[in-house]
Amino acid sequence: MSYVCRVAPALAAAFALNAFATPTASAAPIGNSTCKRELAAAEASLRKTLVRLLQVEKAGQDEKCTALREHAGVAGKARDVFSRCAIGRDRDVDVGQMDAELLRAKFVIGRDCPKDRQTKTPIHRVKTERQP
């Protein structure tokens, strides 16, 4: 089963649950307008990358990998916003979801994206220096 098939329904359900709540209500932000704007922008960006992941599900590997990299970048930025601007249990849940999403995306990118695999040296080829 592809990454998109496993992750997209979970993200879609999470966003559907929050669709009727304002970003300020769903994330319990610290009371400043900058955080309110950033939370709204983060949620919109996450929705956009979710749609993009669904669109490239049957596309070529390069296009999928590009979409996954974009998604990981957006999830990282959203994590930072949630960490700064949300409080209490909502903060813990949102940051935890973004951490998990980043781990999943990075795993799939490392496993399925040839350009990313080429830039990493396989562990069996890493030379170690002996200390005297």
Cα 18 to Cα 43: distance, rounded to the nearest angstrom: 9
Phi-psi region of 89 (alpha: psi -120 to 50; beta: other; left: phi over 0): alpha
Cα 68 to Cα 21: distance, rounded to the nearest angstrom: 27
Dump pLDDT digits (tens) for 21-70: 334 334 445 568 899 999 999 999 999 999 999 999 999 999 999 999 99
Dump pLDDT digits (tens) for 70-129: 999 999 999 999 999 988 898 999 999 999 999 999 999 999 997 755 545 444 444 444
Cα 8 to Cα 61: distance, rounded to the nearest angstrom: 17
